[in-house]
Amino acid sequence: MPDSPLLTAAAVAVIALAIAAVVAVGLKVLRSFRELGTDAERATYKTLHAASRAGQHLRTGLNPAGAAKASKQLRSLLGCDALAITDTTGVLAWDGAGEELKPALMGLAAKVLDGGHLAVIPAGELQLQAAGGGGRTLAPEVERAVVIAPIKAGNRVVGVVAAFAPAAGAGLVRATGEVADWVATQVELAELDASRTLLMEAEVRALRAQISPHFIYNSLNAIASFINTDPVRARELVVEFADFTRYSFRRHGDFTTLAEELRCIDRYLLLERARFGDRVQVSLRIAPEVLSTVIPFLSLQPLVENAVRHGLEAKEGPGHISITANDSGAFAEVTIEDDGVGIDPDQLRSVLAGHSDGEHVGLRNVDARLRQVYGDDNGLVIETAPGEGTLITMRVPKSQPRHDA
């Protein structure tokens, strides 16, 4: 197939990739030749660099994968033959020579884990203690001194750092103690991270919207008014009410699909219409492609409720609400617009910022949850002015493999 366009295109692509590769390698080589300062500066840099690299690996806490990578950096920092990190139950990582000592290490570290004090085992005594703990004798060539320093997070000992060297000088002992303290700081940071994640999850759960008590009260009253005049309608409304509550009281999952949420809104509007009659007009334009998009549970219903309650209730004559959902690239875009009384932007700003508990707490709740789940760029966008109605836009990424509807 001569001169096929695809082949030419592929050729262009391959050449472009090759050029990119050459440039990347060239830059790297150039950088390695650059002047890097005095010996002291370089040593400082090397130490800080090793520490920060090790720190990244320890940010997920004391686990085998992170500890294995961190122990390489830490061993080069201490300049010892071998370095081991343990937690309270077993050896997490061993870097360097003498791995046959590994089974004995937990025995050696038991005292440190209990007492929380640094221990130094001089070169002569290692064989004896290891033999006592592990029940084996060691070959003379693995004879080493060991410095074992505790990792103390808070006031608990969560593990030890053990450095193996031919002799345990004062320098090594002090440095090992410092390294263990530094590891402890990282572990504490990791625990802080973990508790922050837990806190965020708890916050999302606490924010999970509840249907408003006013709505239940108003709906039941509206239904009651139909029982004598139009029993058939009253019965239908009770069934709708039951379906609505079943959806909003469900226990499982913090997410739902746009389609399910729209059905919930449908029931909600049926009930509101029992009260308001034809004063509430609704139009809907939905792109079917986005119906299966995952959204936070009860994130649209409060927006529609806000439009009914604060947009139309206060207004005279009929009010119109339009709901649209559009396909927008990798996002689904949902808008809810009403032609009601609008909101004072300053008041809205202070409600959204959490400074005042006004009428629009439902909006703040949804906004906070969206920001929590999808990041600060994906909060609600609200366009409004007094007397001009309100337009609320919500953008949600279509791809959410981590969230189950």
Partner 1 sequence: MNPVVGVAAFAAVSLATAVIGFYGLRVSRTTGDFYVASRTVKPWWNASAIGGEYLSAASFLGVAGLILLSGTDALWYPVGYTAGYLMLLLFVAAPLRRSGAYTIPDFTEARLDSRSVRRVTSLVVVLVGWLYIVPQLHGAALAIRITTGLPAWVGPVAVVGVVCITVVAGGMRSITFVQAFQYWLKLTALAVPIVFLLFVLGGGESAAAESPSSSTANPTALAPAGPYQIISLLVALLFGTLGLPHVLVRFYTNPDGQSARRTTLIVLGLLSVFYLFPTAYGMLGRVFAPDLARSGQADALVLLLPGRMIGGMAGDLLTALVVAGAFAAFLSTTSGLVVSLAGVISQDVFGGSVRGFRLAALISAIVPLGIASMTGSVGLAGSVGLVFAFTASTICPVLLLGIWWRGLTDAGAIIGMVTGGVLCGSAMVAGSVLGAAQTPSWLAQPAAWTVPAAFAVTVLVSRATRGRVPRTMTRLMTRLHTPERPLATER
Contacts with partner 1 by CB under 8 A lie at 1-14, 65, 243, 246-247, 250, 257, 259-260, 262-264, 266, 269-270, 273, 281-289, 291-292, 294, 326-331, 377, 397-405
Alpha-carbon span 26 to 365, nearest angstrom: 52
- The CB-of-102 to partner 1 minimum distance in angstroms stands at 18
Q: In DSSP terms, which residues pair with 333 in a beta bridge?
A: 326, 395
Type of residue found at 290: V
Best CA proximity match to 62, nearest among 131, 156, 134, 139:
156
CB closer to partner 1 out of 93 and 163: 93
CB closer to partner 1 out of 145 and 274: 274
CB closer to partner 1 out of 124 and 277: 277
Alpha-carbon span 373 to 311, nearest angstrom: 27
- The CB-of-20 to partner 1 minimum distance in angstroms stands at 11
- The CB-of-257 to partner 1 minimum distance in angstroms stands at 7
Q: Residue 16, CB half-sphere, CA atoms under 13 Å: how many?
A: 6
- The CB-of-53 to partner 1 minimum distance in angstroms stands at 18
Query: Considering all CA atoms of the chain, what is the largest pairwise distance in Å, rounded to the nearest integer?
Result: 101
- Alpha-carbon Rg for the chain, nearest whole angstrom, is 33
Type of residue found at 23: V
Best CA proximity match to 340, nearest among 401, 291, 276:
276
CB closer to partner 1 out of 141 and 377: 377
Q: What share of the chain is helix, strand, coil (3-state, %, to 5)?
A: 55, 20, 25
User: How does DSSP classify residue 123?
Assistant: G
Best CA proximity match to 386, nearest among 314, 304, 305:
314
- The CB-of-33 to partner 1 minimum distance in angstroms stands at 27
CB closer to partner 1 out of 9 and 353: 9
Which residue is it, tokens 């440095």?
Answer: 175
Q: Which residues have CB under 8 Å from 401's CB, separation 6+?
A: none
User: How does DSSP classify residue 301?
Assistant: H
Alpha-carbon span 91 to 109, nearest angstrom: 10
- The CB-of-304 to partner 1 minimum distance in angstroms stands at 12
Alpha-carbon span 75 to 163, nearest angstrom: 8
CB closer to partner 1 out of 113 and 274: 274
- The CB-of-400 to partner 1 minimum distance in angstroms stands at 5
CB closer to partner 1 out of 182 and 215: 215
Q: Report whether 341 contacts 403 (CB < 8 A).
A: no
Q: Report whether 161 contacts 85 (CB < 8 A).
A: yes
The two three-digit tokens of residue 309, written as one number: 């309650």
CB closer to partner 1 out of 41 and 289: 289
CB closer to partner 1 out of 130 and 280: 280
CB atoms within 10 A of CB 330: 8
- The CB-of-290 to partner 1 minimum distance in angstroms stands at 9
CB closer to partner 1 out of 114 and 404: 404
- The CB-of-336 to partner 1 minimum distance in angstroms stands at 14
- The CB-of-401 to partner 1 minimum distance in angstroms stands at 4
Q: Report whether 93 contacts 68 (CB < 8 A).
A: yes
